[in-house]
A and B are shown apart, each in its own frame.
Chain A
Amino acid sequence: MTTLCGGNLSLSLRTALTILSCAVIGSSSPAALASSADEQDATQSARLEFFEKKVRPLLVSRCYACHSADTKPAGGLRVDDLNGLLNGGEAGAAVVPGDVNTSLLLQRVSAEAGKRRMPAEGDPLTDEQIADLRQWIQDGAVWPAVAVPESFGKTYEWYGDVRANHWAWQPIQKPQVPVTQSADWARGDIDRFILSTLEAQGLAPAGEADRSVLIRRVTYDLTGLAPTQADVDAFVSDTASDAFERVVDRLLQSEAFGEQWGRHWLDVARYGESTGPSRNIPYPHAWRYRDYVIDAFNADVPFNQFIREQIAGDLLPTTSDTERNRQAIATGFLAIGVKDVNQRFKIRFEMDNVDEQIDVVSRSVLGLTVSCARCHDHKFDPIPTTDYYALAGIFTSSENASGLRNQMGGSGLAYYVPANLVRLSGHEIPAPPAEKLAALEAKVAETKAKWDTIRGTPAGLKKQPNGQPVQRKFRVQYDKALADLNALKDPVENGGAVHGIREGKVADTAVRLRGEAEKHGPVVPRGFLTTFSVPGAAPVDVQQSGRLQLADWMTSDNNPLTPRVAVNRIWHHLFGRGIVSTVDNFGTTGDVPSHPELLDHLAGGFVHDGWSVKRLIRSILLSRTYQLSSESSAQNVAKDPSNRWLWRHSPRRLSAEEIRDSMLAASGKLIESRPDGSPARELKMIEIRDNGPEAAQLHAKAAKSTFRSIYLPLLRGVVPTTLEVFDPAEQTLVTGNRQTTNVPGQALFMLNSSFVRRQSLSLAELVLGRQDLDDNGKLTLAWQKVLGRLPEESERQEAIIFLANLEEAERERLSRSSDLAANEGAANTAVTTPAAPEVPPLDPDQVDQTGVAIAEDNVVSSDPRLSAWMALSQALFGTAEFRYVR
């Protein structure tokens, strides 16, 4: 049977009606208490009838056009929902039940409101209509209550069984290390677990990998780069028994280790430097979180501490500004998610962001999809909706300090709230002088008024001689005034501020029926999942948001999931497949572990060893299992085609980042040091379009950059073209396991992209520059640079013929083209950048959506010999062998 889960929160009424019983509950009223329950019911139903007869039709016919979920919340107010009226809009609560004097709704519909009198269009309300509204508010603003489903609170009966039996939620065991038939194969306990399964399956393990293969494998796995020739030579000729161990230690100490393993974490942290879909607003400070992650892996920050810092870094004790800042930056994890700033309703914006936080935390750390329980009890895992809102209360009690707010429509800096960012210590700014502040605020008000007046009017849209509409300069003036004001108050302009999280208004939150943010059910106390138990974990401190206790609960030594999920991710990156193949899903719909005892052995050892990622990786690498050859045997393939039992080492395709970095390394252009920040730091928190100038600049910067790929600008939806085709992480989703596709776009990239051609040209120049080498030596060098091995004799022969043919063909081609374009004669290599055709917008006031022809450099050489070697270099980069590590 097909199983599904609703994620679309705007469920239609028809669905709602079928799920809900139609009971109505009145809200409390300050009116005199009725003497009996019957009388109370009678009063209540009379009031409800009054509402349905007199008040609701009035709201529908005179207010909905501008204040409802189906239209818009003008002034932030909606009147199609009681909470909408109670919370009110920008001017405050519209309705205060029982209090006719403070209810803004009554003030605004009366004649005294003058110009602000509502409804804005059509006749004013009649005295009788106003009296009805007054009566209704006086009587407590009774509204048909959101009906709580009868089934609410009764979770599925099978929850208990599954809780008690699903393997992942049971305490981590200390399994007995098995005794194997073959006594001398295993180097340690990991090998004993693997070998005992192989023996049980009747599979003979492959032999050990060649040393040159092994060092290539381990160098890629730990650093994302190929070993240098010197490293290969040193290891191949090192006969000491601890030669491999020393290689591993050297690599673990390299800065590149953090870049490779930090990138793995950024995949599951759905790292991105902008809000993504809807309106794409940059996160200019996200790179600090990126650097934090890299540094944490390099410093081998214990994994439990690493998680604690990201969830509650702002609440952890610190002894210095540096430490406080580092931990504040860590909480960027919770702030840099996908956001829909164009969401009309603040409460939905908040609940969507909370959902995003719950999703990333639960899947990255616990391997559970808790988000399913936003709308209903989880259908496969024992996660009731009340668990979800117990967690949600922790996040609603915290402030998502991303620097953004929601707003319907709006442009420029409309979504940016500088004060909402987290300030770093040591960058305090003096309070702005009151006069200056007042002057700028007045300027903003003035320019805004002018802009609002002219915007969209015929006079405003009239074109000036320069082709721009008259109104444009008013917009520019307004934006400028706003930017000046922001600059005065903006911590970013004055020093450090980052996206992060901090404590907010602490309170438990209500279950939202069917996940609809406005539909409150019962309030649930803040807490953690009841899916499994974590003995000894402290409950939520009611004085705080509870994030600190959540972090402690998640990283407790007794949490059965966190260590298992963490070691499984590490295993996945070293073997190409996790012991649990569904690395982000340890729930009942996930895969079962291939080696459950080994998983617990590793997880238990990880905790016992202080959650050290480096030591865990080291112990796995020193196993014989890791060092097996990738050679295959027909017999084993027949029994275990997917290599689930690890009878050999599975080759893997390099990641998008590894492919790009390896080309740059081979061509001699890679800068291995860390750049200062990210190109995204230059951006304001203003929407960027993917064909706009900012995106074009980002693409240009990314194309030029020769830093490691992790440092490229990574705005959602603006993926660098040098990474795009080789399946980089989808930045809007938690990605523990990247896809590996095979598409013609990859071949086209290898054949025609200016990036690959530029690296090929550089490599050719590098090789030809080696005057000390003859052509044979040059071929050897090229093979070593790209493939990390010597050319075979047949390859050498073929390459020589290829070069000769190509040189000849190039010479012919060039003589033909020089006839045409009487050769410039200057440099013998050229990079030509075609000018982008000018595409004026169709209507100056509409966003230009015409696809911009992307200017691509044409990398060519006018020296036939260089051309031929460039073609050879490019061919080597294009081989499948280059992009696989065995």
Chain B
Amino acid sequence: MLPQYQTSRRDLLKSTSAGFGMLALAAMLKSDRAKAATESAKSSLQPKFAHFPPRAKRIIFVFMQGAVSQVDTFEYKPQLQKDHGKTGPEGGKLVGSRFRFRQYGETGSWFSELLPNLATHADKMCWLRGLHTDTPAHPQAVVQLHTGAANATLTRPSMGAWMLYGLGTENQDLPGYVTINPPPNFGGAVNFGSAFLPAHFQGSRINDQGYLPNLKARTDSGIQRRQLDFIQNMNQRFASLPGTPADVEGVIQSYELAFRMQGKVPELLDISDEPQQVLDAYGVRPGPAGSFARQCVMARRLSEAGVRFVEICQPGWDHHNNLHKGLIDRCQSVDQSTAALLTDLEQRGLLDETLVLFGSEFGRQPTSQGEDGRDHNITGYPMFLAGAGVKKGFVYGGTDEYGVRAVEGRMHTNDLHATLLALMGLDHEQLTYPYAGREFRLTDVAGEVKREIFA
């Protein structure tokens, strides 16, 4: 038999699921400890108060790595079609899209035939059509989209890490920030890293099979529980010695959380218990062809369970050549699954608190590159938002008649970040962290919240 206090200790931890929060609050009442408590609260993963009432609780970022050709998918440019073959405003030969466009929904939004499913959500979307960024090379642009800065020599925290730092996590049994199949290059781990923020704000990387390191118990759970109890007994004894650092309490808690995660996370990431019609709706198939669909299902499950920031990724949009067939392939893999994700979130009532962001690190040119390709475009490209906090069937910003440059509603990556933080209830100028003698923020020294898009 185990000593009695073991169990009661676990009960205590369970009952005060607010954990650190409660402790911090208690400590704060004693003024001499107020500062320490505030510090530890700021660095903890407990839910925190936002700067102002949040419009969205969670974000799912659907990242199309490589840069989707917007004029072939969801940016209809009649003048481009008309001037096909002519020289563009900044040189190069204009090439109209080979795909047919038509209008959808009450808003009459234009989509190409490549995206018949996403198009059915036309009236939910809030388009940002005047985006621009600084660097037309994938590595820097991907890193900038994720961390706010393209300068590789000083690594910055990723936007998901900033959100965790600002808001904490809702579900203490799960990581608060999960990234599925992130690009293995173009900055790699930087894109979900915490840089100088405490390490527990970094994203947990899983693959599209739901693999997370060391999550699988290597022995029967009964045996492991006995082992864990033995460890916790020893920890308890150690914690009671005079002078043992308070962090040991954190070690004890982390074991309990880890034990719970072993049970819950695999369950959560195992999508086989979804009804067949749901899996079919997403287009789940075995093997690589079903990778993105599985990511979408996992994203919904993670988000539903309270994960603050989920990112999923479909690479392979860098169509300098093979544009025609490449787009057909890519859109096939993305269109149905993303549309199903939006439908599923909506049906479960999650779209009211979840914000979906869809897009690439930049866009592509309306002019040709080689026989069948388009080059990068950082001066004007779109992304869309859907769900919590944003207007439905709304367009903010736009590019010139060919889609080369953003001419109205211009929105730099910093502005996008400022706006996303604001939707989550965070003031991008207040969300700062001291490092190397100064305060850093996601938006560096820029960023403007585009309130026009708020619902």
Contact = CB atoms under 8 A, between A and B. Distances in A.
Interface residues of A, number: 143
Contacts of A743: 199-200, 254
Given A631-B242, A871-B227, A744 B207 contact: no
Interface string B196-218: 10111000111111010111111
A849 B231 contact: no
Contact of B207 (A61, A748, A852, A881): A852
B278 interface: no
Given A277-B143, A879-B234, A880-B251, A843 B446 contact: no
A854 B211 contact: yes
A51 B147 CA distance: 39
A589 B437 contact: yes
A287 to B, nearest CB: 22
B158 to A, nearest CB: 12
A853 interface: yes
Nearest to A60: B90
B336 interface: no
A692 interface: yes
Given A7-B154, A355-B153, A741-B200, A689 B234 contact: no
Contacts of A71: 136, 375-376
A528 to B, nearest CB: 20
Nearest to A641: B36
Given A65-B367, A277-B139, A2 B243 contact: no
A66 B91 contact: yes
A279 B444 contact: no
A820 to B, nearest CB: 14
Contacts, number: 369
Contacts of A278: 139-140, 143, 152, 186-187
A793 interface: no
Nearest to B434: A589
B227 A730 contact: no
A633 B227 CA distance: 33
B220 interface: yes
Interface string B400-412: 0000000000001
Interface in A489-511: none
Contact of B248 (A582, A744, A850, A884): A884
9 contacts: A4-B440, A60-B90, A61-B87, A343-B137, A372-B437, A747-B255, A747-B257, A851-B207, A853-B209
A121 interface: yes
Contact of A871 (B196, B223, B258, B321): B223
Interface in B207-258: 207-209, 211, 213-220, 222-224, 226-228, 230-231, 233-235, 237-239, 242-245, 247-248, 250-255, 257-258
Contacts of A858: 218
Nearest to B153: A356
Interface stretch (B101-109, B312-320, B388-396, B418-426): B312-320
B436 interface: yes
Given A119-B91, A717-B189, A344 B137 contact: yes
A408 interface: yes
A10 interface: yes
Interface in A303-337: 337
A813 to B, nearest CB: 6
Contacts of A883: 251
Nearest to B65: A849
A746 B254 contact: yes
Interface stretch (A136-144, A393-401, A802-810): A802-810
B227 A63 contact: no
A753 interface: yes
A277 B226 contact: no
A72 interface: yes
Contacts of A806: 223, 226-227
Contacts of A717: 188-190
Nearest to A68: B90
Contacts of A539: none
B207 A752 contact: no
A352 B445 CA distance: 19
Interface centre among B93, B183, B223 (most CB of A within 10 A): B223
A379 B436 CA distance: 13
Interface string A9-22: 11110010000000
Given A880-B248, A881-B234, 20 more contacts: A7-B154, A61-B91, A276-B155, A277-B152, A277-B187, A280-B185, A344-B136, A461-B321, A590-B437, A730-B195, A730-B196, A733-B154, A740-B247, A747-B257, A751-B258, A839-B288, A842-B291, A847-B315, A879-B235, A881-B238
Interface centre among B237, B326, B378 (most CB of A within 10 A): B237
B439 A4 contact: yes
A107 interface: no
B335 interface: no
Contacts of A342: 137-140
Nearest to B234: A879
Nearest to A687: B185
A12 B226 CA distance: 60
B437 to A, nearest CB: 4
Contacts of A839: 287-288
Interface in A698-753: 717, 721, 727, 730, 732-734, 739-749, 751-753
Given A691-B184, A744-B258, A340 B322 contact: no
Interface in A795-849: 795, 798-799, 802, 805-806, 809-810, 813, 837, 839-843, 845-847, 849
B289 interface: yes
B215 A748 contact: yes
Interface in B18-57: 32-33, 36
B320 to A, nearest CB: 7
B88 interface: yes
